[in-house]
Amino acid sequence: MRTDDLTGVLFSDGFLANEPHPHLARLRADAPIAFDAVQGVWVLSRYAEVQAASRDPATFCSGKGILLSEIGVSYDTPPTIMHTDPPDHTRYRKLVQPGFSPAALRSWSAGVASRAADGVSMLLATVGAAGAGVPVDVVANLAVPFPLQVIADLLGIPDDDWPRFYEWSEAAIPGATDLPEDRIAELMGEMVTYLLAVAAERRASPADDVVSRLATAAPDGDVLDDAELAMFLVQLLVAGNETTRNALSGGLLAFAEHPAEWARLRAAVAEGDDGLVASAVEEILRWTTPVAYFMRTTTRPVSLDGVDLPAGAPTMLLYLSANRDEAEFGPTASIFDIARTPNHHLAFGSGPHFCLGAALARLELTAMLQALAPAVESFSSASTAPPTRSMSLVIAGLKACPLVVIPA
């Protein structure tokens, strides 16, 4: 069998929107390290190889692009920290790490919990207005506004700007919107202009927010210039809400499809069992894997499980597949189990590029589960209105997810 027969479907419109996991399981079994001649890319679908490549930036570099659309593209300056390799990447991590320190995280906790409580109140108000048994869209009514309002708080900007943030964020994700390219470019320009204006204000008058920490950070006298600061702020705005939004909406759909797991979580919250809540967050992240893949490029010939990859080979790290790999997660890999342990998923990547915002995403998901559990008796799928999934090949997310929500 030609491996193109197995890999080609990965690049077809709507692959992630049409239940990809049976095909990914076949790929892991039959062609776990496969070359697609049409795209000119190697595809890694097993956990072991994806993790190994993630942890070896000297061999699998990011500087030549992290998306398939970037093969052969070069940038004057890196669009994100994800497009850098050591030593530049090391410098960037050192500069921005204070903005995501444990102390910073503790200072956000109360505000995130308050936002979660407000989000649940608004959801239940929508449920009440719709009437008993009428499905409501948990994406539009909870998963979209919640992380965007948190980001507004962290950036120290008005939370009523969050609808604009959503439009910018969607424009930044390949395949997430049907807008024409000129409109996408216009929105991206608006976002950068807005964020740099905020940064200029904070440099002149620092406050207790992430923008101020990033704009004024100067370990060893080193500071971010405007282009670098824009890079980080765009990444914070986009990645900082996309991961939480898609993990949260996908997690609620999982609970609707596995009602016993929701009952189990509710009981744990009622008993103050923070351990199961933390475990549930990790399982939601594994199950949803909001970022389906990133790409790397080999810097030298390398052998993976007996398969030889040449130097300069674009290589696709399929996190979505790796997170359902039976070799890592056992025979229950395809089961949603909120008590799963161990659970060393790759939803945040691994190695030097481990997601800077992972702690924030975990904080948000934890706060939301703790707010939802006592307030909602059950979620169930709406038979007349199935979920609508994103057509992006990068983000595994829901555009709409109507669920029947039964208040406690």
Report whether 174 contacts 11 (CB < 8 A). no
Is the full-model pTM beyond 0.75?
A: yes
| β-strand partners of 293 | 318
Alpha carbon distances (Å) from 167 to 91, 173, 175, 177, 364: 31, 10, 13, 9, 21
DSSP characters over 359-399:
HHHHHHHHHHHHHHTTTEEEEEE-TTS--EE---SSB--EE
Q: Which residues in the chain show pLDDT less than 70?
A: 1-2
* CB atoms near residue 371 (< 10 Å): 22
pLDDT the model gives residue 155: 83
Distance CA 9, CA 317 (A): 16
Q: For residue 227, what is the enclosing H or E element?
A: helix 226-257
Q: What is the CATH number of the domain that holds 214?
A: 1.10.630.10
pLDDT the model gives residue 1: 42
pLDDT the model gives residue 299: 97
pLDDT the model gives residue 172: 85
The answer to the question of residue 55 being in a domain is no
The answer to the question of residue 193 being in a domain is yes
Question: How is residue 8 written in tokens?
Answer: 């080609």
Amino acid at 226: D
C-alpha 122, offset from chain centre: 24
The answer to the question of residue 136 being in a domain is yes
Where are any strands of DSSP class E within 114-230? Answer: 136-137
Report whether 187 contacts 175 (CB < 8 A). no
| Domain membership of residue 385 as a residue range | 79-292+336-407
Using alpha carbons, select from 338, 337, 357, 339 the residue that is nearest to residue 347: 357
Report DSSP state, residue 291: B
Question: How is residue 159 written in tokens?
Answer: 């939370």
* CB atoms near residue 406 (< 10 Å): 13
* CB atoms near residue 229 (< 10 Å): 24
The answer to the question of residue 223 being in a domain is yes
The answer to the question of residue 300 being in a domain is no
Distance CA 255, CA 250 (A): 9
| β-strand partners of 295 | 316
- Give residue-wise pLDDT tens across range 62-72: 999 999 999 98
The answer to the question of residue 207 being in a domain is yes
The answer to the question of residue 25 being in a domain is no
The answer to the question of residue 47 being in a domain is no
Number of domains in the chain: 1
Amino acid at 8: G
Q: Angle CA(268)–CA(289)–CA(124) in degrees, nearest 5?
A: 50
